[in-house]
Amino acid sequence: MTEIRTVLVPVDLQQHSDALAGYALHLAAQLGARVRFVHVRTEVEYLSVYDSSTFEAFEEKNRREAAERLRAFGERWQARGWVGDTVLLEGEAADAIVAHARDTAADLIIMATHGVQGMEKILLGSVADRVVKRAPCPVLLFNPFRHLAAAPR
C-alpha cells in the first residue's frame, strides 16, 4: 500500500470549509501526513474593447482579498496546532486542483461536495466529480451535509 505523506485539501472558504479542514487534519494526523490547504480563485474574463483599467483593478482587488482570506484561514488552523502551508491557485477549480496535485505529487485529496442537484448540476457539473475522474491520486469526498442526510424525513 502506498504511504500517504501529503494531503491536498481544496477549500472554497465558505461555510463548510472549517468542518472539512477539521476532518482532513484529524485523518492526516492518523496517517502521519502533512496537509496543504489550497483555494482556487477563478478569473473573470474581460471581453470588451473599452478601457480595461477598471477591470484590472477589480481583478487585483479580488486576488488580494482571496489571498487574505486564505491567509486568515491558515492562521486560524495554525493557532490550533496545524503545521502546513496554504496555496492560492487560479483558474477553473477542477483543472487547478488536479494540476496542483500532479505537480506536487500529492498522495491524497480530501475535498467537500456541495451537494448540487438537478439543473444546477446539469449546467455547472460537479468540481468534485471532475477531480475524482482526473486526479493522479485517490480522492476522499467529505459530505458537509451528512447531518441533514441522517435526519428523518
CATH number, domain of 29, equals: 3.40.50.620
* Position 48 confidence tier, pLDDT thresholds 50, 70, 90: low
| d(C-alpha 145, C-alpha 150), whole Å | 9
Say if 1 falls within a structural domain. no
pLDDT of residue 96: 97
pLDDT at residue 53 above 60? Answer: yes
Q: Nearest to residue 69, comparing CAs of 100, 109, 40?
A: 40
Q: Which residues pair with 89 in a beta bridge?
A: 40
129 secondary structure, DSSP code: H
Say if 106 falls within a structural domain. yes
Q: Note the pTM of the prediction, 2 decimals.
A: 0.84
Cβ neighbours of residue 16 closer than 8 Å, sequence gap 6 or more: 112, 144
Task: Tell me the pLDDT tens digit for each residue of 69-98.
Answer: 999 999 999 999 999 999 999 999 999 999
45 secondary structure, DSSP code: P
Query: Is 101 strand, coil or helix?
Result: helix
Say if 143 falls within a structural domain. yes
Say if 61 falls within a structural domain. yes
Contact 101, 135 (CB under 8 A): yes
Domain count, the chain: 1
Say if 53 falls within a structural domain. yes
pLDDT at residue 138 above 60? Answer: yes
Say if 83 falls within a structural domain. yes
Contact 133, 101 (CB under 8 A): no
Say if 73 falls within a structural domain. yes
Determine the structural domain holding residue 119 and report its residue range: 6-149
Q: Nearest to residue 105, comparing CAs of 20, 33, 45, 52?
A: 33
What CA dihedral angle connects 116, 20, 144 and 63, to 10 degrees? -40
